[in-house]
């Protein structure tokens, strides 16, 4: 079914010779077997002398013979290729040609009749190529060329007479060739390194490049000749497959029909112009005959004759071509009966999602193309909705104006307009709802893209961090190692050991410094990084476990997955037309699925590992080890990557499941296995701080307590003294009394100073002036006293209140000093 | 999200990461990718693939050019070496055949005509 399309393309291609004149062996798609040699086409502008009727008949017969020969060849080819439709058409055409030739040979077309309707017979013989548009093997461009060869009055080129569809087909064919050549060049380049190219390969590449460029040039040149609108339409086809699809939709029947239609139209135009010219000429001749310019009239009559002849020819051609068109339409209809394969079976992209054709089912298009078609259909629908909305808005406005234009008394008219307006408003709301449907693939799509983006970014970062010299560019060792290996060889180029940096390894001093810092901050600088490490590694582990669920099971499949896989295999077998599950193809398909899974899993695992490393770099950028050293070294990264890869690979079995704890353990163990000690150090720091605080607080509290006790003791003494008698009878001297009082109040051995302090108070309170025997004043504080100490007699009443207070003060001081 | 759509998302992410577009534009695209009309997403993919393909082509050609230029230089050097060597050999041969004589010596030993 599909093969019926091929001759269509080939035919079209054959109709347009390769502009580069390359032989078919140089990657051209045109098969030599399908392209019979074209009969020579008469020149467009060639103005040959009018042939005699005999010559014309013989020429026609020769031309017919050549065409018959060609048709026979084509017919044979189509029979071999089992192209039933074209065979039917060709047979019909062949019969027509033979009949015409026989008629000419048998003298039905006499010289006279040929002479009488020379242009008519010409038009018939020359319009033959387009007489059976279904045939598909006719030269499309020949019809207008041959027709035009007799039109010596006009110098129009072939292109000017070609209808748009023919030009479009030509450009499409060139576009396909240009894209094809480009694809070949890219395919040649793919996976090759410049350094490994042999001189022959280089020459071959250059050849391919030149071909591609030349073909592109030719295509662009032809494209520029098209109207802008058509150019834009063709430029939208950016993929080879799109161009091919488009070409397949343009069957030769359509092209020929359109060509015929275009030619007919051009003849009609010409006829109209001729009519006008003839009328003008007749008017001129009449004028000339009526005046003295008879000679001019004679010359004009010849011209008129030519014009009339041309008109007759055109009328005949138009009639003939109209009849052919009708025939071709009927034959096209008959070929597209139910059950007959239709050549233009390829559906238009816009309709594909809603109504996939039989061809699409038997040869399913890639799902991505399907999604693309759906997206484009959605966009077109949205565009239509917008246009509809705009139209509805216009109508609403018109209806509103119409309603308002009704006079007040015309209630029915008003109501009718109002009802219509309401209906339009309903429609407007409906369209609005449909248009407001949220576009896009959604948040998950965004997340997936962002994840892939980060993953590749991180890989590129890895790769770019390596020094790249011109030697690399010139084909030295591979710049970009595979992702899996990149982590491992990151450490140094060509296996050189990494120079330990100052930060990379901690020294004893650094360790002490870190601990001191921890002690200084009460363990904060120990606790915080440990907590962060714990939290972030857990997050990364969780992410890895989450992504690891995307790894497909390759063996020991769970029941549901095994069932799915079996269904897939059976579906594929159905597509391939295999019914029995005993067929060895079953195992092959199973192996294919597993192989695909292995490839996908490999890619997925690498992606997960790289993403995990990337995340660790991001999240633990500032993390330092116990001794302040950098922990995210290339060595550690490599260890993490290796071990994580091992764990992830084990998930390919149906028995294993991703475990967050295990994966987190892998990360922590390889990143910083002593990370827990940080918590211990923090604990020690906290304990130390507690002890310090206790000590300081104890000291402070003890001081306060002493003060309080002393104050309290003093208060008690004062109270006791106050309760005693404040007067006493002098027994000997004031000094002696003061000493006795001190002793009696607990000051066992009072000093002279203490005695003097108390005695002084006694003397002051009792109004006694203390003088020596010579009358000298001993204590100036007692100068205001009346009695003299030395002269005091026994039983003198001494007031002791002040002295006893002084004793209490002395006692408090003594207690405080003792504490 | 179907597998196809996921593949598309991954492809776009990869292409964006490898693209030479301005970072701000990339960020904006990634930020709005969830609500971008589907047909535009496909057009974005096409454009990025086209960009990548073009760049790969140009890089390949540049590498080829550099390689060929290096080879040309190497060949030129070799040719010059050969030319210099042959010239030196020639000169050496000449010198060997015609050793340098003393400046004072007569250029040609014309026999003195006896009167």
Interface of A with B in 648-687 (CB under 8 A): none
Residue of A729, A746, A734 lying closest to A812 (CA atoms): A746
**A357 pLDDT above the threshold of 50:** no
d(CA A624, CA A341): 74
Residue-averaged pLDDT of chain A: 71
Q: Which residues in B lie closer than 8 A to residue A456 (C-beta atoms)?
A: 13-14, 17-18
Q: Which residues in A lie closer than 8 A to residue B67 (C-beta atoms)?
A: 194-195, 474-475
Residues 6+ apart with CB under 8 A from A486: A459, A462, A463, A480
Q: What percent of chain A has pLDDT over 90?
A: 1
CA distance to partner chain B, nearest, from residue A332 (Å): 36
Residue-averaged pLDDT of chain B: 83
User: Which residue of chain B is at minimal alpha-carbon distance from A382?
Assistant: B37
d(CA A385, CA A435): 7
Partner residue opposite B64 with nearest CB, options A194, A374, A443: A194
pLDDT tens-digit readout, A315-352: 888 887 777 766 665 555 444 444 433 333 333 333 33
A495: alpha, beta or left, given left = phi > 0 and alpha = psi -120 to 50?
A: left
Exposure letters B65-98 (e unless 16+ CB within 10 A, then b): eebeeeeeeeeeeeeeeeeeeeeeeeeeeeeeee
Q: What is the DSSP string of B10-70?
A: HHHHHHHHHS-S-HHHHHHHHHHGGGS-HHHHHHHHHHHHHHHHHHHHHHHHHHHHHHHHH
- Strand, helix or coil for residue B79: helix
Residue A583 per-residue DSSP state? S
The answer to whether the Cβ–Cβ distance between A446 and B9 falls below 8 Å is yes
A635 contacts A498 by C-beta, under 8 angstroms: yes
Angle made by CA atoms A361, A367, A371, in degrees to the nearest 5:
110
d(CA A166, CA A637): 63
d(CA A599, CA A44): 61
Q: Which residues in A lie closer than 8 A to residue B18 (C-beta atoms)?
A: 456, 460
- Strand, helix or coil for residue A727: strand
Residues counted in chain A: 819
d(CA A12, CA A23): 17
Q: Which residues in B lie closer than 8 A to residue A375 (C-beta atoms)?
A: 37-39, 41-42
Most confident of A64-68, A288-292, A554-558: A64-68
Q: Which residues in B lie closer than 8 A to residue A189 (C-beta atoms)?
A: 56-57, 60
Mean pLDDT calculated for residue range A762-778: 83
Tell me which of B6, B32, B38 to substitute to probe the interface with A (most A C-beta atoms closer than 10 Å): B38
CA distance to partner chain B, nearest, from residue A183 (Å): 11
**A393 pLDDT above the threshold of 60:** yes
Return the pLDDT at B110. 56
A667 contacts A534 by C-beta, under 8 angstroms: no
The answer to whether the Cβ–Cβ distance between B34 and A375 falls below 8 Å is no
- Least confident among A276-280, A413-417, A435-439, A517-521: A435-439
Tell me which of B1, B29, B34 to substitute to probe the interface with A (most A C-beta atoms closer than 10 Å): B34
d(CA B22, CA A524): 42
A208 or A332: which leads in pLDDT: A208
Return the pLDDT at A296. 63
The verdict on A604 touching B (C-beta cutoff 8 Å) is no
The answer to whether the Cβ–Cβ distance between A195 and B67 falls below 8 Å is yes
Interface of A with B in 451-490 (CB under 8 A): 451-457, 460, 470, 473-475
Q: How many other CB atoms are there within 10 angstroms of residue A217's CB atom?
A: 14
Return the pLDDT at A292. 59
Tell me which of A241, A446, A600 to substitute to probe the interface with B (most B C-beta atoms closer than 10 Å): A446
User: Which residue of chain A is at minimal alpha-carbon distance from B8?
Assistant: A368
Partner residue opposite B46 with nearest CB, options A238, A379, A451: A238
The verdict on A80 touching B (C-beta cutoff 8 Å) is no
CA distance to partner chain B, nearest, from residue A668 (Å): 29
**A133 pLDDT above the threshold of 50:** no
Q: Where are the domains of chain B?
A: 3-96
Distances from the Cα of A43 to the Cαs of A61, A146, A260, in angstroms?
Answer: 20, 8, 20
So what's the ipTM on this one?
Answer: 0.71
Return the pLDDT at A28. 39
Confidence of residue A30 (pLDDT cuts 50, 70, 90): very low
d(CA A278, CA A304): 6
A471 or A323: which leads in pLDDT: A323
Distances from the Cα of A145 to the Cαs of A23, A53, A778, in angstroms?
Answer: 25, 22, 158
Return the pLDDT at B48. 92
A96 contacts A131 by C-beta, under 8 angstroms: yes
The answer to whether the Cβ–Cβ distance between A368 and B4 falls below 8 Å is yes
A626 or A755: which leads in pLDDT: A755
* Burial class, A789, CB count within 10 angstroms (exposed 0-12 / middle 13-18 / buried 19+): buried
* Chain B contact residues (CB < 8 Å to A): 1-14, 16-18, 26, 30, 33-39, 41-42, 46, 50, 53, 56-57, 60-64, 66-68, 70
The answer to whether the Cβ–Cβ distance between A440 and B35 falls below 8 Å is yes
User: Which residue of chain B is at minimal alpha-carbon distance from A446?
Assistant: B34
Residues 6+ apart with CB under 8 A from A165: A250, A254, A255, A258, A259, A262
For residue A8, give both structure tokens: 């269509």
Return the pLDDT at B44. 92
**A70 pLDDT above the threshold of 80:** no
Return the pLDDT at B62. 92
Partner residue opposite A473 with nearest CB, options B4, B8, B63: B63
A285 contacts A300 by C-beta, under 8 angstroms: yes
Q: State the distance between the two ends of chain B, measured CA to CA, in whole angstroms.
A: 123
Return the pLDDT at A642. 83
Beta bridge partners of A769: A788
pLDDT tens-digit readout, B12-56: 999 999 888 888 899 899 988 888 888 899 889 989 988 888 888
d(CA A160, CA A144): 10
Q: Distance of alpha carbon A668 from its chain centroid, rounded?
A: 34
Residue of A575, A5, A3, A1 lying closest to A245 (CA atoms): A5
Most confident of A127-136, A349-358, A609-618, B102-111: A609-618
A487 contacts A613 by C-beta, under 8 angstroms: yes
The answer to whether the Cβ–Cβ distance between A379 and B36 falls below 8 Å is no
For residue A729, give both structure tokens: 């009878």
Return the pLDDT at B29. 92
**A41 pLDDT above the threshold of 60:** no
User: Which residue of chain A is at minimal alpha-carbon distance from B61?
Assistant: A194
Query: How much is the pTM?
Result: 0.37
Cα dihedral across residues A665, A670, A674, A678: positive or negative: negative
Return the pLDDT at A125. 41
d(CA A655, CA A428): 57
Q: What is the DSSP string of A8-24?
A: HHHHHHHHS--TT---T
Partner residue opposite B60 with nearest CB, options A194, A378, A446: A194
The answer to whether the Cβ–Cβ distance between B38 and A374 falls below 8 Å is yes
d(CA A778, CA A72): 166
The answer to whether the Cβ–Cβ distance between B4 and A371 falls below 8 Å is yes
A45 or A55: which leads in pLDDT: A55
The verdict on A375 touching B (C-beta cutoff 8 Å) is yes
């Amino acid at each position: 079914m599909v093969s019926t399309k091929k001759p269509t393309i080939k035919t079209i291609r054959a109709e347009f010779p390769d502009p580069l004149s390359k032989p078919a062996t140089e990657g051209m798609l045109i098969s030599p077997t399908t392209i019979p040699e074209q009969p020579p086409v008469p020149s467009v502008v060639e103005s040959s002398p009018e042939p005699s009727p005999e010559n014309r008949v013989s020429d026609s017969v020769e031309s017919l013979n050549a065409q018959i020969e060609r048709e026979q060849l084509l017919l044979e080819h189509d029979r071999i290729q089992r192209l039933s439709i074209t065979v039917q058409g060709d047979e019909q055409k062949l019969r027509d040609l033979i009949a015409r030739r026989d008629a000419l040979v048998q003298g039905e077309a006499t010289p006279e009749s040929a002479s009488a309707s020379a242009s008519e017979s010409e038009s018939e013989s020359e319009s033959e190529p387009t007489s059976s548009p279904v045939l598909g093997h006719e030269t499309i461009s020949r019809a207008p060329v041959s027709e035009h060869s007799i039109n010596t009055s006009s110098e129009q080129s072939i292109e000017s007479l070609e209808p748009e569809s023919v030009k479009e087909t030509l450009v499409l064919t060139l576009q396909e060739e240009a894209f094809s050549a480009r694809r070949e060049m890219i395919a040649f380049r793919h996976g090759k390194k410049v350094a490994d190219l042999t001189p022959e390969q280089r020459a071959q590449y250059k050849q391919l490049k030149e071909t591609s460029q030349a073909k592109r040039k030719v295509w662009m040149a032809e494209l520029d000749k098209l109207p802008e609108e058509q150019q834009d339409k063709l430029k939208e086809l950016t993929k080879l497959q799109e161009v091919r699809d488009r070409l397949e939709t343009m069957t030769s029947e359509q092209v020929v029909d359109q060509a015929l239609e275009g030619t007919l139209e051009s003849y009609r135009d010409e006829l109209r112009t001729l009519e006008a010219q003839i009328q003008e000429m007749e008017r001129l001749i009449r004028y000339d005959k009526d005046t003295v310019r008879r000679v001019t009239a004679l010359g004009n009559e010849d011209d008129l004759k030519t014009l009339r002849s041309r008109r007759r020819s055109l009328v005949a051609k138009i009639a003939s071509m109209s009849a052919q068109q009708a025939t071709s339409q009927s034959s096209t209809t008959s070929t597209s009966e139910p059950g007959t394969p239709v050549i233009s079976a390829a559906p238009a992209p816009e309709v594909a999602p809603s109504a996939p054709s039989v061809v699409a089912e038997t040869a399913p298009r890639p799902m991505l193309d399907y999604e693309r078609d759906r997206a484009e259909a959605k966009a077109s629908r949205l565009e239509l909705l917008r246009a509809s909305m705009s139209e509805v808005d216009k109508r609403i406005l018109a209806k509103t104006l119409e309603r308002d234009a009704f006079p007040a008394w015309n209630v029915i008219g008003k109501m009718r307009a109002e009802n219509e307006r309401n209906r339009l408003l309903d429609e407007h709301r409906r369209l609005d709802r449909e248009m407001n449907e949220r576009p896009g693939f959604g948040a998950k799509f965004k997340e997936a893209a962002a994840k892939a983006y980060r993953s590749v970014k991180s890989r590129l970062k890895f790769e770019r961090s390596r020094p790249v010299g011109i030697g690399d560019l010139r084909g030295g060792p591979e710049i970009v190692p595979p992702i899996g290996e990149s982590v491992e060889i990151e450490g140094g180029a060509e296996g050189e050991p990494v120079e330990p940096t100052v930060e990379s390894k901690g020294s004893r001093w650094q360790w002490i410094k870190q601990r001191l810092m921890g002690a200084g901050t009460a363990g904060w600088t120990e606790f915080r990084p440990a907590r962060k490490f714990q939290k972030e590694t857990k997050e990364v582990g969780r992410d890895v476990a989450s992504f690891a669920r995307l790894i497909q099971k390759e063996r020991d499949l769970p029941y549901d997955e095994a069932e799915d896989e079996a269904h897939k295999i059976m579906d594929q077998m159905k597509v391939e037309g295999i019914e029995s599950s005993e067929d060895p193809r079953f195992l092959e398909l199973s192996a294919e699925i597993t192989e695909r899974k292995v490839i996908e899993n490999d890619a997925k695992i690498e992606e997960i590992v790289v993403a995990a490393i990337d995340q660790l770099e991001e999240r633990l950028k500032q993390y330092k080890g116990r001794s302040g050293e950098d922990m995210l070294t290339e060595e550690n990264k490599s260890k993490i990557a290796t071990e994580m890869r091992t764990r992830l690979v084990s998930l390919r079995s149906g028995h294993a499941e991703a475990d967050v704890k295990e994966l987190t353990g892998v990360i922590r163990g390889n990143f910083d296995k002593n990370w827990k000690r940080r918590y211990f150090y923090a604990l020690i720091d906290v304990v130390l701080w507690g002890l310090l605080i206790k000590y300081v607080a104890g000291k402070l509290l003890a001081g306060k307590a002493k003060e309080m006790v002393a104050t309290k003791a003093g208060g008690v003494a004062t109270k006791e003294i106050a309760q005693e008698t404040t007067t006493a009878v002098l027994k000997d001297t004031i000094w002696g009394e003061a000493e006795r009082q001190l002793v009696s109040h607990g000051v066992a051995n009072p000093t002279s100073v203490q005695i003097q302090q108390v005695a002084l108070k006694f003397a002051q309170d009792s109004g006694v002036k203390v003088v020596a025997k010579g009358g000298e004043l001993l204590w100036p504080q007692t100068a205001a006293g009346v009695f003299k100490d030395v002269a005091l007699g026994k039983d003198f009443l001494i007031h002791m209140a002040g002295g006893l207070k002084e004793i209490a003060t002395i006692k408090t001081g003594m207690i405080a000093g003792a504490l | 999200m179907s597998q196809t759509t996921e593949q598309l998302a991954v492809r776009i992410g990869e292409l964006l990461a490898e693209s030479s577009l301005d970072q701000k534009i990339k960020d904006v695209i990634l930020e709005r990718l969830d609500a971008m009309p589907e047909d535009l997403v496909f057009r974005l993919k096409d454009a990025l693939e086209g960009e990548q393909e073009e760049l790969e082509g140009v890089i390949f050609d540049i590498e080829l050019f550099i390689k060929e230029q290096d080879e040309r230089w190497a060949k030129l050097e070799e040719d010059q070496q050969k030319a210099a060597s042959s010239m030196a050999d020639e000169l050496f041969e000449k010198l060997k055949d015609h050793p340098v004589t003393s400046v004072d010596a007569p250029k040609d030993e014309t026999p003195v005509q006896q009167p």
